[in-house]
Amino acid sequence: METEHRVVLDDARTLSAVDDDAVDLVVTSPPYPLVEQWDDLFSDLDPAVGEALAAGDGDRAFRSMHDALDAVWAELERVLAPGGIACINVGDATRTVDGEFQLWPNHTEIVARMRDRGFSCLPEILWRKPTNSPSKFMGSGTLPPNAYPTLEHEHLLLFRNGDLREFPPGDDDRYESAFFWEERNEWFSDTWEILGEDQRLAAGDGARERSAAYPLEIPLRLIRMFSTYGDTVLDPFLGTGTTTVAAMVAGRDSVGYELDPAFAEAIGESVERVPDLSERLVADRLDAHREFVERRRAEGDPPGYEAENYEFPVTTKNERRIQLYTVADVARTGTAEGHRYRAMHEPY
């Protein structure tokens, strides 16, 4: 199996390299409005943002920042195929503007704007990122009433474009892409507890540093949950390439947009590690299933169906044709607009 991956160094408000209805799944984590590290980016996109912040007008800055993101959501409406899913990871912001501390509800603003564009809102997932800090509160410490809870979660917002997606009966790509029963029970919970990962990149002459906490496990789960082999995954805010890596590991095609060319080298370095990473992740996934089988056997309730491609049982009929792949090699080809990668996959 081969998969194709494009990295486009351009503004995602115009997804000119993506045809209408060409994407089956969107997985992305945009810059978060009113989170201070993104102020300069939003101000560059729209000078009205910087003017509003300088004037202490948080409401106007919040709207202007979301207007910039809304141009991307408009493009998703065009490129996402009927029945396709959009997964948007976003955190709310807590910030003092003009002397007043408050929460800025980014997730509710995106939900409202996506619904206005005709997307169906699906049950969301709360991604909880536990910390080991003994001082999680904000505000006046142990004195009521002016202390505030510390945000330890973000939102994985899920939207569908139109009706349910349809497949031919017994579709090979769909059945080979099935997940294990025990994975389904964990992944389709509405709360995930996954540690964030600190990713830092000094851009250009080192004058600016950007960071994110978007671990590979997040896009990897979402891709396995909401797409099949042969599908195309889009990330309009690619950053260091986490979604591209996840798509390669999962055996899907991908397109990623990144506005800042300083990230191109980091994306290339991430891609180079994919073959070893994919082999480890696939082995871990199969080992976890074998441990599940042994627990069920010890409980006197072993799974009742035999997998066709592996020497272990599975719980449901739909799991019997599961086929996992590893990435044997990744070849890179430069283009005028970014980079292209071809990944070669082998059955494991």
Average model confidence (pLDDT) for the chain? Answer: 92
For 14, the domain range is: 10-134+147-347
Q: Is residue 188 assigned to a domain?
A: yes
Biggest CA-to-CA distance, the chain: 68
Least confident of 48-62, 78-92, 190-204: 190-204
Q: Is residue 194 assigned to a domain?
A: yes
Cα 114 off chain centre by: 17
Q: Is residue 2 assigned to a domain?
A: no
State yes or no: pLDDT of 205 exceeds 60.
no
Contacts of 62 (CB under 8 A, 6+ apart): 33, 34, 104, 109
Name the band, by pLDDT with cuts 50, 70 and 90, for residue 142: confident
- The 3 state secondary structure assigned to the chain is CEEEEEEECCCCCCCCCCCCCCEEEEEECCCCCCCHHHHHHHHHHCHHHHHHHHCCCHHHHHHHHHHHHHHHHHHHHHHEEEEEEEEEEECCEEEEECCEEEEECHHHHHHHHHHHCCCEEEEEEEEECCCCCCCCCEECCCCCCCEECCCCEEEEEEEECCCCCCCCCCCHHHHHCCCCHHHHHHHCCCEEECCCCCEEEEECCCCEEEEECCCCHHHHHHHHHHCCCCCEEEECCCCCCHHHHHHHHHCCEEEEECCCHHHHHHHHHHHHCHHHHHHHHHHHHHHHHHHHHHHHHHCCCCCCEECCCCCCEECCHHHCCCCCEEEEEEEEEECCCEEEEEEEEEEC
Q: Is residue 248 assigned to a domain?
A: yes
State yes or no: pLDDT of 29 exceeds 80.
yes
Amino acid at 38: W
Q: Is residue 184 assigned to a domain?
A: yes
pLDDT of residue 243: 97
Residue 136 or residue 10, greater confidence: 10
Q: Is residue 277 assigned to a domain?
A: yes
State yes or no: pLDDT of 202 exceeds 50.
no
Name the band, by pLDDT with cuts 50, 70 and 90, for residue 321: very high
Q: Is residue 1 assigned to a domain?
A: no
pLDDT of residue 275: 97
State yes or no: pLDDT of 206 exceeds 50.
no
Residue with tokens 């080979």: 176
Name the band, by pLDDT with cuts 50, 70 and 90, for residue 218: very high
Q: For 257-303, write each residue's pLDDT tens digit.
A: 999 988 888 898 999 999 999 999 999 999 999 999 999 999 999 99
pLDDT of residue 196: 72
Q: Is residue 4 assigned to a domain?
A: no
User: CATH number for the domain including 248?
Assistant: 3.40.50.150
Please give the structure tokens belonging to residue 200. 């830092």
State yes or no: pLDDT of 316 exceeds 70.
yes
Name the band, by pLDDT with cuts 50, 70 and 90, for residue 133: low
In total, how many domains does the chain have? 1
